[in-house]
Structure 1
Amino acid sequence: MSGEGRVALVTGASQGIGRGIALRLAQDGFDVTVVDLATQEDKGLEVVQEIHDLGRKAIFVAGDVSRRDDVFAAVDQAVDSLGGFDVMVNNAGIAQVRPFLEITEEDLETIYRVNVHSVVWGIQAAAAKFDQLGHPGKIVSAASIAAIQGFPILGAYSSTKFAVRGLVQTAAQELAPRGITVNAYGPGIVGTSMWDLIDAELSKVNGKPIGQNLKENVESIALGRIETPEDVAKVVSFLTGPDSDYVTGQVLLVDGGMLYN
């Protein structure tokens, strides 16, 4: 178990991909700090219990990842409660479905605070803590196939994921002398509540019945099925484990064969 005796922090971990990542890292031997909004505490505590059931330690920390102080405080709590800090997973994110000409100032401010600012704060907080503890570490963030190719009606979302890709590349270069690796995972179409939202919003825009947009997108996947959080978590397991020690600055697509980068 590559994470034995180590501590990971996962943001947005009360459900969906984040929950899948937190549970996989626990299976890998990590103790896990589950971070999410206070409104998600009940779900977050359920994930904590699932991790306990796997024989690992876990805590829930309420925080808004768009706020720098909250992210730094969550990292501090991981060390105080679990005794260390080795891996940061900046998983939290939101989607927006909006025709390009209808994107508002509020839309951009909201999605950039959650999808981009949080990654900056997460990288900064993790690097500072690794330095304080005197050891290297691994930082992994949520990108998307939309970090490689922009998608219609997902303009603002796509731009945030392109931004994450840029942040990963630059942070990887700056932090390499400290022994810190910085990478990202790029999911495709994952069967979570986020894609339920995207499907419903696309239906409003193009008039297709609920479920039709999702069905058509899944049909474009070479491997012929929708992605699961566990599919994503396997890639994060690699990026947080020793087999990825010589990998940095990369966005690793995990999309079942949608894009070929």
Structure 2
Amino acid sequence: MSDQKVALVTGAGQGIGRSIALQLAKDGFDVAVADLDFQQEKAEAVVKEIEALGRKAFFVAADVSKRDQVFAAVDAAAEKLGSFDVIANNAGIAQIKPLSDVTTEDLEKIFNINVFSIVYGIQAAEKKFAELGKEKGKIINASSIAGIKGFPILGAYSASKFAVRGLTQVAAQELAPRNITVNAWAPGIVGTGMWDLIDEELGKLNGKAKGENLKDNVESIALGRIETPEDVAGVVSFFASDKADYVTGQTLLVDGGMLYN
């Protein structure tokens, strides 16, 4: 079917990834739901939600820190769903530590997952677009407000998200001749498990009760509420659409008015 559209979303078993997968399904995409093996039950539930929207979907196990697994996931998406048009490189982790305590192992882990995976996703998508003879393609990456401004005790995380911005800009320039756009989203304080962890770890350092650090940060948001995964999905939906065909190399803040870039 010439108008068929296929997307792959990493880390799609829960949180932001789930919302992105569901939004893309609503936009008319069939979706490969990629996540780690142990997330299969959650991911399969997302597959069912997508199917209930009338789109095709399947779960593909992938550790995004492993290059061969990212390429295999893209291959599976194209083979099982019949095309390949969009990759949303969403999977990532946070680390909460003062910079003085960050270890080599910490750096290796967060860069393998948050940065190397972006490179692999870009490479795999670029290769598949070429194989399929696509006239255009969309690559969309997960950055963060911490990729615009460094935050205390999020040093390694901030560095990894700054790196995503740089990779997005470079890939946008390199792939523009092939009409492949590369953009990133930069969320603020999203009501997911990641911010529950940040709140807890901040509390250990500053002595504030559980929930207080999150409350303090939410109060700094101009729009006055915590961000939802659906808020992020709306931005990804735009980048994946024809409406963003002339937008590339950009990292769009979606933070309710915390930073201004």
TM-score, structure 1 normalization: 0.98
Give the match's secondary structure for 1:220.
coil
Q: Deviations over 1:53-77 (max 9, x none)?
A: 0000001000100000000000000
Letter in 2 for 1:221: I
Partner of 1:230: 230
C-alpha distance in structure 1 between counterparts of 2:42 and 2:219, whole Å = 31
Letter in 2 for 1:162: F
C-alpha distance in structure 2 between counterparts of 1:62 and 1:170, whole Å = 28
C-alpha distance in structure 2 between counterparts of 1:185 and 1:149, whole Å = 14
Letter in 1 for 2:139: I
Partner of 1:170: 170
C-alpha distance in structure 1 between counterparts of 2:250 and 2:98, whole Å = 30
Matching of residue 191 in structure 1 with residue 191 in structure 2: yes
Deviation at residue 145 of structure 1 after TM alignment = 0.6
C-alpha distance in structure 1 between counterparts of 2:29 and 2:78, whole Å = 13
Give the match's secondary structure for 2:8.
strand
Deviation at residue 206 of structure 1 after TM alignment = 1.1
Partner of 1:150: 150
Partner of 2:245: 245
C-alpha distance in structure 1 between counterparts of 2:142 and 2:207, whole Å = 30
Partner of 1:137: 137
Partner of 1:12: 11
Q: Deviations over 1:124-164 (max 9, x none)?
A: 00000001111120000000011110000000000000000
Partner of 1:204: 204
Letter in 1 for 2:121: G
C-alpha distance in structure 2 between counterparts of 1:252 and 1:120, whole Å = 19
Partner of 2:259: 259
C-alpha distance in structure 1 between counterparts of 2:27 and 2:109, whole Å = 34
Give the match's secondary structure for 1:185.
strand
Partner of 2:217: 217
RMSD: 0.9
Deviation at residue 207 of structure 1 after TM alignment = 1.0
Partner of 1:108: 107
Letter in 2 for 1:166: G
Deviates more, 1:198-207 or 1:224-233: 198-207
Give the match's secondary structure for 1:159.
helix
Partner of 2:179: 179
Letter in 2 for 1:131: A
TM-score, structure 2 normalization: 0.98
Aligned length, in residue pairs: 259
4+ residue stretches of structure 1 with deviation over 6 A? none
Give the match's secondary structure for 1:222.
coil
Partner of 2:23: 24
Partner of 1:84: 83
Structure 2's unaligned 5+ residue stretches are: none
Letter in 1 for 2:251: V
Identity %: 70
